């Protein structure tokens, strides 16, 4: 209906001054039209701006989100928002930049869907996903070949934790027999990881040089690597403290007695133990999600990875034995065992120094099994 000036009266689906004009005497066909207009890209004369965004811009935003996500829910909440975001969030470009905290799944929540998502990230070229999935497959799912291949894929991309983990496998002959140990290969992998700044690799390499383990003995060079590991750990602690605004006045003091927890394997200490020699008390570095998953996985199984097998006694490691008597025991008490010299050095000043007590003929407690007499490791 038109006025004298040719203007039209508003219909029921047109908004005037942002106030909707409603009618009660509409036919059923009008209701169908209304519902269809609800899903139209044009609502009240305005277009849907999200649908107008270019695809490459949406992918760029999702890539930034995946690289900065602090927990899995930060990213997965986007997947259930709409089909377009779900489709773009699973693009290889987005998954290749995912942060380690994005796929830091807990052991109790492990499922086939979580396995597939980690596999998708690894196939997209995410080195952290390759390392994490490789550790899970090698130690938890006992798929040694596939796990070692994924860790090797990450190591080729100069991923220092993967290089160090492969070195531990070579030192222990994990997944095989005692004859499969390759000490020289382990030292070479440790040297590469130490060159990239991996603290545990520096510590392991320092002990190898001091003891002449897999390399010609060089006590001076070994001590240099140990001091360098301590210095790098101190620098990392100072950097993390400045970012999180932690007060550092209490660092010069250190308590040699850890605070016991209900779980015997979980100890809370005021700071990083190795730096206590220098009068510093730096907060311990955050455990890698892969090691945290191993600890939770075998912790839910009462800390027993298999019949006659043991876990590394260092609380931040979580690696299990793949055969009997694979890890080295303490040469004094024989009650603890370690996958590497680096774990032994950390755990010694973390808690075992206050607990270690000589026990006569501890080697006869379980007898000789596996590949023969297991190795012992001297406390320092």
Say which DSSP state 320 is in. B
Average of per-residue pLDDT across 338-343: 89
Q: Which residue has the higher pLDDT, 277 or 313?
A: 313
pLDDT at 282: 58
Indicate if the alpha-carbon torsion angle 51, 53, 56, 61 is positive or negative. negative
Q: Which residue has the higher pLDDT, 103 or 25?
A: 103
pLDDT at 302: 76
pLDDT at 188: 95
Q: What would you measure as the largest C-alpha separation in the chain, in angstroms?
A: 113
Length of the chain: 380
Least confident of 160-164, 185-189, 200-204, 275-279: 275-279
The answer on pLDDT for 149 being more than 50 is: yes
Q: Which residue has the higher pLDDT, 169 or 85?
A: 169
Highest mean pLDDT among 26-40, 267-281, 355-369: 355-369
Q: Give 216-251 as a DSSP string.
A: ---HHHHHHHHHHHHHHHHHHHHHHHHHHT---TTT
Q: Which residue has the higher pLDDT, 377 or 331?
A: 331
pLDDT at 14: 47
For residue 69, how many other CB atoms are within 10 A of its CB? Answer: 20
Highest mean pLDDT among 75-84, 123-132, 227-236, 303-312: 123-132
The answer on pLDDT for 42 being more than 90 is: no
Least confident of 24-28, 210-214, 228-232, 317-321: 24-28
pLDDT at 118: 93
Average of per-residue pLDDT across 129-153: 94
The answer on pLDDT for 129 being more than 90 is: yes
The answer on pLDDT for 268 being more than 80 is: no
The structure tokens listed for 206 are 């320092």
Mean pLDDT of the chain: 77
The answer on pLDDT for 207 being more than 50 is: yes
Q: Residue 284 — pLDDT band, cuts 50, 70, 90? A: low
Contact (Cβ atoms closer than 8 angstroms) between residue 217 and residue 183: no
Q: Residue 276 — pLDDT band, cuts 50, 70, 90? A: very low
Q: State pTM to two decimals.
A: 0.75
Compute the distance between CA of residue 84 and CA of residue 86 in angstroms, rounded to an integer: 5
Report how far apart the first and last C-alpha atoms of the chain are (Å, whole number): 97
Q: Which residue has the higher pLDDT, 19 or 356?
A: 356
The answer on pLDDT for 69 being more than 80 is: yes
Q: Residue 161 — pLDDT band, cuts 50, 70, 90? A: very high
Nearest Cα to 337, choosing from 364, 306, 363, 314? 314
For residue 212, how many other CB atoms are within 10 A of its CB? Answer: 12
Average of per-residue pLDDT across 5-13: 54
Average of per-residue pLDDT across 37-56: 64
Average of per-residue pLDDT across 170-186: 91
Q: Residue 2 — pLDDT band, cuts 50, 70, 90? A: low
3-state helix, strand, coil in the chain (%, to 5): 50, 5, 45
As to burial, measured by CB atoms within 10 angstroms (0-12 exposed, 13-18 middle, 19+ buried), residue 115 is: middle
Contact (Cβ atoms closer than 8 angstroms) between residue 112 and residue 127: no
The answer on pLDDT for 273 being more than 80 is: no
Average of per-residue pLDDT across 226-243: 77
159-162 contacts at long range (C-beta below 8 A, 24 or more positions apart): 159/127, 159/128, 159/130, 159/131, 160/193, 160/196, 160/197, 160/198, 160/201, 161/131, 161/193, 161/198, 161/288, 161/290, 162/127, 162/130, 162/131, 162/134
* DSSP 3-state of 343: helix
Q: What are phi and psi of 43, to 5 degrees?
A: -120, 120
């Amino acid at each position: 209906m038109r006025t004298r000036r040719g203007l039209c009266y508003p219909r029921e689906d047109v908004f005037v001054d942002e106030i909707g004009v409603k009618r009660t005497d509409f036919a059923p066909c009008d209701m169908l039209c209304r519902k269809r207009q609800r899903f139209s890209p044009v609502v009240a004369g305005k277009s849907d701006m999200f649908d107008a965004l270019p695809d490459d811009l949406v992918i760029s935003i999702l890539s930034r989100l995946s690289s900065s996500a602090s927990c899995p829910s930060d990213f997965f909440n986007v997947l259930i928002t709409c089909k377009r975001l779900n489709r773009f969030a699973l693009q290889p470009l987005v998954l290749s930049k995912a942060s380690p905290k994005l796929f830091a799944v807990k052991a109790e929540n492990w499922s086939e869907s979580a396995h597939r998502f980690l596999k998708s990230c690894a196939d997209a070229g995410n080195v952290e996903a390759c390392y994490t999935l490789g550790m899970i497959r090698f130690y938890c799912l006992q798929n040694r070949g596939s796990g070692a291949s994924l860790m090797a894929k990450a190591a080729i991309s100069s991923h220092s934790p993967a290089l160090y983990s492969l070195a531990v496998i070579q030192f222990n002959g994990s997944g095989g027999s005692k004859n499969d140990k390759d000490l020289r290969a382990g030292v070479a992998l440790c040297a590469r990881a130490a060159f990239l700044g991996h603290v545990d690799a520096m510590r392991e390499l320092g002990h190898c040089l001091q003891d002449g383990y897999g390399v010609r003995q060089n006590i001076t060079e070994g001590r240099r690597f140990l001091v360098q590991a301590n210095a790098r750990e101190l620098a990392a602690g100072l950097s993390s403290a400045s970012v999180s605004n932690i007060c550092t006045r209490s660092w010069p003091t250190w308590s040699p007695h850890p605070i016991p927890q209900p779980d015997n394997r979980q100890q809370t200490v005021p700071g990083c133990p190795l730096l206590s020699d220098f009068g510093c008390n730096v907060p311990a570095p955050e455990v890698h999600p892969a090691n945290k998953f191993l600890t939770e996985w075998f912790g839910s199984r009462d800390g027993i990875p298999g019949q006659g097998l043991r876990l590394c006694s260092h609380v931040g490691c979580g690696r299990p034995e793949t055969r009997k008597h694979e890890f080295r025991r303490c040469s004094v008490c024989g009650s603890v065992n370690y996958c590497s010299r680096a774990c032994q050095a950390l755990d010694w000043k973390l808690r075992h120094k206050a607990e270690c007590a000589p026990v006569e003929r501890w080697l006869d407690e379980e007898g000789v099994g596996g590949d023969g007499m297991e190795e012992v490791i001297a406390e320092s």
